[in-house]
Amino acid sequence: MENLAEIWPQIVMNGLVLGAVYTLLALGLALIFSIMRVVNIAHADLYMLGGVLTYFLFGQWHLNYFLTLIIVVACLAVAGAVSERFLFRRLRGTGLAGPLILSLGLSFFIRGATLVSFGERERGIPSPVTGVISIGGVSFGTERLVVMIVSLVLIVGLFYFIAKVKSGQAMRALAQDAEAAYLQGIDINQISMLAFAISIALAGLAGALLAPIFVVGYAIGAPLILKLFIIVVLGGLGSLPGAVAGGFLIGFVEAASFTLFSGKLSYLAIFAVMLIVFLIRPQGLMGKAELQ
């Protein structure tokens, strides 16, 4: 028990870092689903692309790390806008199956193209910031603090954008009732493209933030996509506050299970929490119950 009291603050800090990044990724996935009803299987592979771009821009070409983050966001935002305009828009209103299959094909294409150009071997990136910070007896690398702060700022910024900025309010209106939004003069094509750009940019930025902490490789997104879907479903499909709740919950569960047990039991702990939540709230943490 004494040992548990000593390591618990470290678990909380690791949970905050993981939860912030998972939330950043899950928000993009939930945003696209809420507006376009698209289940984007390729979301985690776009996270991988952010890490690969960071490897080249920062790790190989030695650009400033924060300039690298801006370039990654810009490149992935353009990729998101292009994919919505020329791929997913054609399948709008056709149900879940078509966009799901399209995103699966896009995932295979991205992963295959990265394998050919980047290679099979996973590679590391030097940390842009060094040093260790101790707060209340908890020690953690400065780079993890940077990841957590940037992620939290972006999460708050996204909610502010949706609540206060006209384009963000249009996204919320489109998510609530597409037909009513159209009748109010909202350009559905423009807002859908913007939502895709934001979603993919967030995924790429998460990859860029975590690249110096973990490794970069063509397959790093594969195990992540299941976790992201668990977070989105756990929070309530299409609910942005639910994505935040689910992201931090899974972040803390994973941090605790890795510290207290073996890494092999982390998914078991996640599935156990998922089962408990669905037994209590079948619609998810922030989802709305359907009327019978």
Domain ranges of the chain: 18-221
Q: Which pLDDT score, from 0 to 100, does residue 55 have?
A: 95
Measured over the CA atoms of residue 77, residue 198, residue 53 and residue 105, the dihedral's sign is negative
Q: Which pLDDT score, from 0 to 100, does residue 291 have?
A: 36
Q: Which amino acid is at 225?
A: I
Across 210-225, b (16+ Cβ under 10 Å) vs e yields: bbbbeebbbebbeebb
What does the pLDDT profile of the chain (292 residues) look like in tens digits? 446 666 787 788 888 989 999 999 999 999 999 888 888 999 999 999 999 999 999 999 999 999 999 999 999 999 999 999 999 998 887 888 899 999 999 999 999 999 999 999 999 998 888 877 777 666 777 888 888 899 999 999 999 999 999 999 999 998 888 888 888 888 999 999 999 999 999 999 999 999 998 899 999 998 898 899 999 999 988 889 999 999 999 999 998 888 887 666 788 888 899 999 989 988 888 876 543 3
φ/ψ of 17, rounded to 5, equals -65, -50
Q: Which pLDDT score, from 0 to 100, does residue 180 have?
A: 85
